[in-house]
């Protein structure tokens, strides 16, 4: 895990997921299985809620490539998130078309201080929006 991610993850755990850096209370920990390695990977990711779903955007700060966690959950969409102090098994799906656009706009509006409006200007790729829905069991 990169030092920056480790520091954020450590702060998240220390504060019970509340008031974490510039993310405030809008950060979750996403744990995926590495697409190539099969190893467990945990990444801090900003989120907002859409009804009973958690919504995250694979921005990688506007880089030309998708973040590794995105490739991991495309290969295996059964992932785990930690929100606050609750660990939740979820299934990931990628939003398409007008739903993707609506959700990305909602994401950017929910966290205007985090730069989500700027990221699409930095890249030619369409930034994926991922829906995380609770799995039973």
Confidence of residue 58 (pLDDT cuts 50, 70, 90): very high
User: HEC string of the chain?
Assistant: CCHHHHHHHHHHHHCCCCCEHHHECCEEEEEEECCCCCCEEEEEEECEEECCEEEEECCHHHCCCCCHHHHHHHHCCEEEEEECCEEEEEEEEECCHHHHHHHHHHHHHHCHHHCCCCHHHHCCCCCCEEEEEECCC
As a whole number, the mean pLDDT across the chain is 95
Instruction: Select the more confidently predicted residue: 3 or 67.
Output: 67
| CATH architecture assignment, domain 3-134 | Roll (2.30)
Confidence of residue 2 (pLDDT cuts 50, 70, 90): low
pLDDT at 129: 98
The model carries a pTM of 0.94
What are the domain boundaries of the chain? 3-134
């Amino acid at each position: 895990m990169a030092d920056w991610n480790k520091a954020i993850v450590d702060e998240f755990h220390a504060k019970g997921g509340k008031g974490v850096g510039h993310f405030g209370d809008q950060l979750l920990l996403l744990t995926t299985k590495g697409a190539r390695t099969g190893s467990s990977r945990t990444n801090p990711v900003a989120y907002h809620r859409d009804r009973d779903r958690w919504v995250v955007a694979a921005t990688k700060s506007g880089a030309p490539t998708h973040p590794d966690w995105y490739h991991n959950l495309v290969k295996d969409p059964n992932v785990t998130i930690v929100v606050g102090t609750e660990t939740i098994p979820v299934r990931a799906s990628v939003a398409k078309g007008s739903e993707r656009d609506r959700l990305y706009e909602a994401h950017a509006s929910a966290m205007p201080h985090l730069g989500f409006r700027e990221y699409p200007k930095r890249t030619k790729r369409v930034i994926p929006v991922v829906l995380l829905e609770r799995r039973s069991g």
